[in-house]
Chains A and B, each alone.
Chain A
Amino acid sequence: MIVSKLKEAKICFSNLRVTLPYPFGPGAEVGEGFRGKLKVDAEKCVGCGGCANVCPSRLIRFYDDGEQTRMEFILDRCTYCGRCAEVCPENAITMTQTFETATNDKTDLYIEQELYMLTCKRCGRCFETNNAIDRIPTQRMRRGRNFVGASMPHGAPEGGEPGK
């Protein structure tokens, strides 16, 4: 009995305090590659919907509304699996190191963003986001009706008249 108590005491005394005074002081650092609250970069997103397709909690939703597509993240259901960030072709989603997500305001866990879709000149239906088209190097050649960008070399001089 005594021996066992002494052994227990030895374990306790050879390992003194290991806890941190969190939240009154700084907490522990999270490791590299930690998956915390996600962040979306609306500039990069091309609205492909890949993230919504893989999200196991089904919390990413798309609503088409004319020229706009509204994208909604209801993060109170997020399991921080990071699949959305993994599949995003544009790396628009990043898993940040934020883990202090407790809140009494639900809107803290809500992200909404609007994507402007460019319409197809022929049929008038949405087909691609502004962001995606902006990234195509032939962008300067998409003015006017005589769009023949495909025949222009990428290195056309600045101010060069496209389509001629």
Chain B
Amino acid sequence: MQSHLLWLGIAGHIIGFDTVLMQAWRIREPVMWLCEKITGNRKLLGMNLIGGVRRDIPAEIHDELLQVLARVEKETKQVINAIADDTTLRARCVDVGVLTPQQVIAYALLGPTARASGVGIDIRVDHPYAAYQELGCEVMVENGSDIWSRVLVRMRETLEAIRIIRDALRFMPSSPIIADIREPIPPGKVGLSSVEAPRGETHHFVITGEDSRPYRWKARAPTFQNLQGIPVMVAGEYIADVPIGLGSMDPCFSCTERLETVDVRTGQVRVYSKKELVELYRRRYEGK
């Protein structure tokens, strides 16, 4: 919910429509305050532990939570209503950055990007985890295949997220929030989980090691997969449409940090190892 509002703001900013940036972020802010109240931080919530979560939702916050949800819902609807017929916005988004359903499938694109091209994939429905089996979740599909459809998908999903949170609060059973695990975690076990993140499905893979510590942990964030669709999306488009084309996938580069350098004169590609990068950094910044 907050991620989609954040994205709406950034997408607006990329095409020079800063009013929507200001307003979307203003609407989102109370959600961040709630996050801080419930978990202790706006981001990096640090709530999940093996066996459960660390903090319960305090009872005195329930009312405030519902109020914030109501307000965000109302204001999001207002914004959707206001921008729906904005011709400037539509000129930048409709039929721009088109990805056909065939391309989406060929490049295995995920999340709202896929759903905006009529490919209704959503892990919460396809392989329900946590409480999604009981709560249900409507998969928002648009068939425009362009940036405007991605806006619509995300806005409808924001409202759906509010619905899910309300239901979750209403049906929340009262039980311990964390299991009491005392045995050490056996080494050599493999765990794989897939959840639907705001940008698409994200997979975490872990092999347990000695001393209850992970031996290997690999995360595959959706942005990595979505970026594969960028070349076909921007092919033949105006250069001015490339930033919003890229932005329309809601890329998260910190999830996807991979680095290679290209020497523009020789065209030579080089990939640095971790050791080389550390040495380079030390030489540059610590004068060693």
Q: Which residues of A line the B interface, CB within 8 A? A: 1, 3-5, 7-8, 10-12, 15, 18, 30-35, 79-83, 86, 95
Contact = CB atoms under 8 A, between A and B. Distances in A.
A32 B82 contact: no
B49 to A, nearest CB: 8
Contacts of B67: none
Given A12-B23, A18-B29, A79-B44, A4 B82 contact: yes
Nearest to B87: A1
Interface in B11-37: 19-20, 22-23, 26, 29, 33, 36-37
In this complex, the interface size class of chain B, counting residues with CB under 8 Å from chain A, is 20 to 34
A11 B79 contact: yes
Contacts of B257: none
B46 interface: yes
B44 A8 contact: no
Interface in B81-95: 81-88
Interface string B55-91: 1000000000000000000010011011111111000
Interface of B: 19-20, 22-23, 26, 29, 33, 36-37, 40-41, 44, 46, 54-55, 75, 78-79, 81-88
13 contacts: A4-B87, A7-B78, A8-B20, A8-B23, A11-B23, A11-B75, A15-B23, A18-B29, A33-B37, A33-B40, A34-B36, A34-B41, A82-B40
Q: Chain A interface secondary structure, helix, strand, loop or mixed?
A: loop
A4 B78 contact: no
A30 B36 contact: yes
Contact of B83 (A8, A79, A82, A95): A8
